[in-house]
Structure 1
Amino acid sequence: MTEIELASRARKAMDTAYAPYSKFRVGAALLTASGRVYTGCNIEIASFGATNCAERTAIFKAVSEEGRIKIDKIAIASDDEDYIYPCGICRQVMAEFADDEMELICTRKNGEYKKMRFGDLLPNAFRTF
């Protein structure tokens, strides 16, 4: 799957985002080592601590379907003019299921994207394996 295809799926996942408070819709799409693609959107809850980001939604869907996964690529999309990056909690969840070489695809509203290694986004990630 190409970066453009994965970014397109992330953008489509934004359509189902539940963001009544921030109005900041986010979509994510990930490709596992098994070749399967999972999407997710952000889901806001009035008790903000219970809110779930798009990246974690996609990861949790993948784990619930496959068990232990390895993420090869993940794309993130929003309506922001600038590139969007995962929050700190999502970075730590990614560290559980990805190595430093995982490809992160950060997009902008206009469709531009850039790729980066996960290890560059979260160097020295806390891992127990």
Structure 2
Amino acid sequence: MSLRDDAMKVRENAYAPYSKFKVGAAVRATDDIVHQGCNVENIAYPEGTCAEAGAIAAMCAAGGSRDIAEVYVIADSPTPVPPCGGCRQKLAEFGKADTPVTLATVDGAEFKTTIGDLLPGMFDASHLVRT
């Protein structure tokens, strides 16, 4: 399966009873293993989990590589949906600035970018060298 297929398939597992907005994400780690995540809502809205965060958690839980090589995010939206600010920082934690990210719609529209373009001026470990 392609990364798009993985993201599209897991999107169907999203728990979105309030917004009805299902999102799927697939990350390919540098060991070539694909990890999937979907959004999981909660009646207390800030307590939900984004698809990208779910895919990253699955990658960590799998115990293999923790370095992201590629990201694919898909939703049923008029235009490709970007990750929220928190997920941009989470992606930056596990991927490099030049890591490719594809944002897509279920209708086939795609927008290709990178983690660095999604989060310019990202906070990273280099900011902690004096601690």
TM over 0.5: yes
1:51 aligns with 2:48: yes
**What is the CA distance between 1:67 and its match in structure 2?**
5.8
Which amino acid in 1 is paired with 2:5? S
* Rg (Cα) greater in structure: 2
1:27 aligns with 2:24: yes
> 2:79 is matched with which residue?
82
Which amino acid in 2 is paired with 1:62? M
SS at the partner of 2:101?
A: strand
Q: Which moved more, 1:19-28 or 1:65-74?
A: 65-74
Q: Is the 8 A contact 2:7 2:26 kept in 1?
A: yes
Cα offsets for 1:10-56 (capped at 9, x unmatched): 11111100000111000000100011000110000111121000000
> % of aligned pairs identical?
37
Which amino acid in 1 is paired with 2:101? L
CA distance in 2, matches of 1:92, 1:117: 13
Unpaired stretches in structure 2, ≥5 consecutive residues: 127-131
What TM-score, normalized by structure 2, do the two folds share?
0.91
Q: Is the 8 A contact 1:31 1:72 kept in 2?
A: yes
Cα offsets for 1:71-128 (capped at 9, x unmatched): 0111001111211110001011111101101110110231121211211111111011
> 1:91 is matched with which residue?
88
SS at the partner of 1:73?
A: strand
CA distance in 2, matches of 1:90, 1:25: 16
Unpaired stretches in structure 1, ≥5 consecutive residues: none
Q: Is the 8 A contact 1:74 1:103 kept in 2?
A: yes
Q: Is the 8 A contact 2:10 2:37 kept in 1?
A: yes
Superposition CA RMSD, Å: 1.4
CA distance in 2, matches of 1:34, 1:19: 31
